[in-house]
A and B are shown apart, each in its own frame.
Chain A
């Protein structure tokens, strides 16, 4: 708790850096949101990108983005939505060009096509999902805790979401539907952590005779610290397993969760309680709340 000021500066720096990067670089949205084509093919042996790019350019796909995907044997081709092509045959056409360009056997691994109208809908739905989740959680928290704690929890939450999205803006990793799903899971998880700490703070304020808020916050955080670290530890263990072994498709998802859990653990220890201190939390805040929530405080 003594390091509160340092933490505050650290958090603000991260949040501002994230916001700047989101504004300046933008997010590298996947085709789920932009619409377009994505074709993944597998080769028998390692394959170079340059000849593939050349072959595609020669056949009228100048805008195709070609990259390795996961291994040097897998190639991912991305094409923005086009104005004038027969959609049904487009992936077939690209597959044929790639096949003609090599003596290896090429296998079709994945084709995704998202039409402009679907991309638009997924964008809207995604944004809506984030807002609804935040809103629902806000309502729940304000029922269960008093005002100052709720503000602390929500600030911690927004802090986590901004930084996680910021990391995606800075690294320019692809932001697709699964990453959005991960972001919603981060919201749930980060709150989970914060709620445990706030619960303990509330309990300590009510149970202990000490009245110096500073000490109570410190005590509560220390009491829950080993639990916070333990749970983050086990969750991170499985996420690293997923990140390293789960394959390329799930990479962005696992990465978003790992970042979110790091940030979420940190924020539940520092951000939520710092906010409470800044808002001048007192024993009275909780005593009053006790009388109010006599009924709905019991699980």
Chain B
């Protein structure tokens, strides 16, 4: 009896091996320190790239190569020192429509990149960086929608000349109170027509209309709040100058933000979570009335009581002139007259028109700038998790209007760091609803490096020990198993690179574990072959029977492990998922190499000749 594979089987194995090697190859090349330049509004073109190159050449900063990738310029350097120099230079010389970020670019050769071969994607625990899980305060988002609807209802009733006593908002919804029943009837019809997102209910005993948001409107608001927040966070991350950030939705109220390689995590947290924005309002009454209102607590109907930074009370009109949403551009500067930090802002068309009208009509009247910040924090009280919401509203500046404002003007009253942060926040857009960081995992660059080195070392040492052990114990067949094990490792790396699945430290542990367990299939087969030989069968028959009989056992044994891995994958998070991925891939590739791979080698070596004795 002879053991032979048809030619196509050998060929397909060979092709698999070659493909595996090609896609595992990019991992052997390291990474280049690089600087990535992108445009704030439009992408970088060939001319932009040339001018970046020229800037670097003029200052004698050497770079390895430069290229355009998806509208971004990527310049590679030979070491980190030059990279930092170049980043500083570019930051200073390019205008503020450019974003400069430090990056590590894979040094994969061009021919491999053409094949779309890339190195494995390293998780944050291996390359260092920050992982945030943020929860969007949906309650606040819905509240905000109700508030704006309430304002719209007021305007609508006024425009329609329907008289009402008052309108308010509480936890049960919106309430509009009336004096007589006729008006209620008129109002309900008109409101129903105009506000489709609300359900109106007439409460005749109390002479009022109650309104609540429809389920659809709430769902829509939550969806758009999440979406808007993701866009804002992405803008802010870009402003921070992070290359390759990940900003993703998780579930229906959470956002994952991953910033590889960032050092200043405290600053990042502050910027990401900030909800700071501005409002412009006219003041109401005189200074003595403000003090009165503070003392007595009685605030005129059309005014609201605010405080300045030094605690002085200010009465401001209920009507907002312009909000931060209408600011399209902002930059921190120094006020040329007073020499204090300032933020220069530019309004969109609608905002500029309103601001122009109000300031023209109110020359000589003081106007206030209100700085608003929302925060939300969860804490555990007993068994319950309580959310605490804090909104701080401060008047940072009260100044008399001297002339009509154009779309561009300056605000003072902030410290310089505050002015810089506020300008960034206004530029990036505001968060639709406050976010809270509910999970943070930061890995410093030194720990990331240690993790890679230690992980690599344990894979190598573990691998070498197993190779040695197999060679000693099973001799020639052990060497065959070793070839299979090596191919297995190459295939795992190739598949991980191809899938661009995130490799984490537990993921490396998964690879190590697979290396240990991968030989199991071969051990089962070889033990079976030994047994068959002991039972007096010929070598060829023993080989055949060994593979045949071990097959179902190997399948059974691996399916159970695969089951555990799949459960881990579907229920695990972050690093644990990484373990499940490498373990699953490892189980599949090891079954392939241990059964098909070794069989091919055995067939090639022993299959076609008459042998008396096996080295096993």
A→B interface (CB under 8 Å): 35, 40, 42, 81-84, 87-89, 91-92, 107-118, 120, 122, 125-126, 128-129, 132-133, 136-137, 140-141, 144, 177-178, 180-181, 184-185, 187-189, 191-193, 195-196, 199-200, 223-224, 226-227, 230-231, 233-239, 241-242, 244-247, 249-250, 253-254, 257, 297-299
Residue of A nearest to B571 (CB): A129
Whether A235 contacts B567 by the Cβ 8 Å rule is no
Main SS at interface, chain B: helix
**Which residues of B sit under 8 angstroms from A120, Cβ to Cβ?**
385
The interface size bin for chain B is: 35 or more
Whether B556 contacts A238 by the Cβ 8 Å rule is no
User: Which of B214-222, B277-285, B435-443 contacts its partner?
Assistant: B435-443
Residue of A nearest to B455 (CB): A246
Supposing A88-B437, A196-B553, A239-B512 touch, asked if A188 and B565 sit within 8 A by C-beta, the answer is: yes
**Which residues of B sit under 8 angstroms from A299, Cβ to Cβ?**
551-552, 555
**Which residues of B sit under 8 angstroms from A83, Cβ to Cβ?**
379-381
Which of B461, B515, B516, B564 is A187 in contact with, Cβ under 8 Å? B564
Distance to closest chain B CB from A215 (angstroms): 18
**Which residues of A sit under 8 angstroms from B561, Cβ to Cβ?**
185, 188-189, 191-192
In the assembled complex, the Cα of A75 lies from the Cα of B269 at a distance in Å of 24
Main SS at interface, chain A: helix
B299 contacts the other chain (CB 8 A):
no
**Which residues of B sit under 8 angstroms from A87, Cβ to Cβ?**
377, 437
In the assembled complex, the Cα of A297 lies from the Cα of B573 at a distance in Å of 36
**Chain B residues numbered 526-580 whose CB sits less than 8 Å from any CB in chain A:** 527, 531, 551-553, 555-565, 567-568, 571-573, 575-576, 579-580
Distance to closest chain A CB from B508 (angstroms): 8
Residue of A nearest to B568 (CB): A184
In the assembled complex, the Cα of A79 lies from the Cα of B450 at a distance in Å of 24
Distance to closest chain A CB from B576 (angstroms): 5
Whether B531 contacts A223 by the Cβ 8 Å rule is yes
Distance to closest chain B CB from A101 (angstroms): 19
Having A144-B556, A238-B466, one finds 6 other A-B pairs with CB under 8 Å, namely: A109-B444, A109-B447, A178-B506, A178-B509, A192-B520, A246-B457
Supposing A196-B557, A257-B513 touch, asked if A88 and B575 sit within 8 A by C-beta, the answer is: no
Whether B465 contacts A238 by the Cβ 8 Å rule is yes
**Which residues of A sit under 8 angstroms from B442, Cβ to Cβ?**
91, 108, 110-112
B241 contacts the other chain (CB 8 A):
no
Distance to closest chain A CB from B347 (angstroms): 31
**Which residues of B sit under 8 angstroms from A257, Cβ to Cβ?**
513
Whether B564 contacts A133 by the Cβ 8 Å rule is yes
Residue of A nearest to B521 (CB): A231
Whether B439 contacts A115 by the Cβ 8 Å rule is yes
Distance to closest chain B CB from A245 (angstroms): 4
In the assembled complex, the Cα of A201 lies from the Cα of B465 at a distance in Å of 32
In the assembled complex, the Cα of A238 lies from the Cα of B464 at a distance in Å of 9
Supposing A237-B462, A242-B458 touch, asked if A188 and B266 sit within 8 A by C-beta, the answer is: no
Residue of A nearest to B384 (CB): A116
Whether A136 contacts B441 by the Cβ 8 Å rule is no
In the assembled complex, the Cα of A170 lies from the Cα of B563 at a distance in Å of 29
Whether B567 contacts A245 by the Cβ 8 Å rule is no
B519 contacts the other chain (CB 8 A):
yes
Whether B505 contacts A237 by the Cβ 8 Å rule is no
Which of A81, A132, A141, A181 is B379 in contact with, Cβ under 8 Å? A81
Whether A181 contacts B512 by the Cβ 8 Å rule is no
B273 contacts the other chain (CB 8 A):
yes
7 contacts between A and B (CB under 8 A): A91-B265, A109-B446, A184-B567, A185-B583, A195-B557, A249-B505, A299-B555
Distance to closest chain B CB from A28 (angstroms): 19
Supposing A89-B266, A125-B571, A177-B575 touch, asked if A231 and B454 sit within 8 A by C-beta, the answer is: no
Supposing A110-B444, A140-B560, A192-B557 touch, asked if A242 and B512 sit within 8 A by C-beta, the answer is: yes
In the assembled complex, the Cα of A230 lies from the Cα of B519 at a distance in Å of 9
B463 contacts the other chain (CB 8 A):
yes
Which of A109, A115, A189 is B378 in contact with, Cβ under 8 Å? A115
**Which residues of A sit under 8 angstroms from B562, Cβ to Cβ?**
188
In the assembled complex, the Cα of A35 lies from the Cα of B437 at a distance in Å of 13
**Which residues of A sit under 8 angstroms from B509, Cβ to Cβ?**
178, 242, 246, 250, 253-254
**Which residues of B sit under 8 angstroms from A35, Cβ to Cβ?**
380
In the assembled complex, the Cα of A82 lies from the Cα of B572 at a distance in Å of 26
Closest 9 CB pairs of A and B: A238-B462, A188-B564, A188-B561, A115-B438, A235-B516, A238-B516, A241-B462, A247-B454, A111-B442
Supposing A177-B573, A188-B560, A196-B553 touch, asked if A118 and B439 sit within 8 A by C-beta, the answer is: yes
Contact with A along B485-517 (1 / 0, CB 8 A): 000000000000000000001101100110111
B125 contacts the other chain (CB 8 A):
yes
In the assembled complex, the Cα of A140 lies from the Cα of B558 at a distance in Å of 12
**Which residues of A sit under 8 angstroms from B592, Cβ to Cβ?**
none
Whether B265 contacts A245 by the Cβ 8 Å rule is no
**Which residues of A sit under 8 angstroms from B416, Cβ to Cβ?**
none
Whether A247 contacts B512 by the Cβ 8 Å rule is no
Whether B463 contacts A110 by the Cβ 8 Å rule is no
Distance to closest chain B CB from A104 (angstroms): 14
In the assembled complex, the Cα of A116 lies from the Cα of B505 at a distance in Å of 25
Distance to closest chain A CB from B276 (angstroms): 14
B42 contacts the other chain (CB 8 A):
no
Residue of B nearest to A83 (CB): B379
B473 contacts the other chain (CB 8 A):
yes
Residue of B nearest to A40 (CB): B447
In the assembled complex, the Cα of A234 lies from the Cα of B515 at a distance in Å of 9
In the assembled complex, the Cα of A133 lies from the Cα of B377 at a distance in Å of 35
Residue of B nearest to A239 (CB): B516
Which of A81, A116, A231 is B523 in contact with, Cβ under 8 Å? A231
Whether A140 contacts B559 by the Cβ 8 Å rule is yes
Whether A180 contacts B553 by the Cβ 8 Å rule is no
**Which residues of B sit under 8 angstroms from A91, Cβ to Cβ?**
265-266, 440, 442
In the assembled complex, the Cα of A252 lies from the Cα of B261 at a distance in Å of 26
B107 contacts the other chain (CB 8 A):
no
Supposing A110-B442, A118-B133, A239-B513 touch, asked if A137 and B552 sit within 8 A by C-beta, the answer is: no
**Which residues of A sit under 8 angstroms from B583, Cβ to Cβ?**
185
Whether B266 contacts A181 by the Cβ 8 Å rule is no
Residue of A nearest to B125 (CB): A249
In the assembled complex, the Cα of A129 lies from the Cα of B562 at a distance in Å of 14
Supposing A238-B462, A246-B509, A253-B509 touch, asked if A132 and B270 sit within 8 A by C-beta, the answer is: no
In the assembled complex, the Cα of A90 lies from the Cα of B378 at a distance in Å of 15
Supposing A116-B385, A238-B513 touch, asked if A245 and B552 sit within 8 A by C-beta, the answer is: no
Supposing A116-B378, A238-B513 touch, asked if A111 and B441 sit within 8 A by C-beta, the answer is: yes
Residue of B nearest to A144 (CB): B556
B524 contacts the other chain (CB 8 A):
yes
**Chain B residues numbered 99-135 whose CB sits less than 8 Å from any CB in chain A:** 125, 133, 135
In the assembled complex, the Cα of A254 lies from the Cα of B506 at a distance in Å of 10
Which of B125, B266, B378, B523 is A230 in contact with, Cβ under 8 Å? B523
Whether A88 contacts B563 by the Cβ 8 Å rule is no
Which of A113, A122, A200, A246 is B458 in contact with, Cβ under 8 Å? A246
**Which residues of A sit under 8 angstroms from B523, Cβ to Cβ?**
227, 230-231, 234
B230 contacts the other chain (CB 8 A):
no
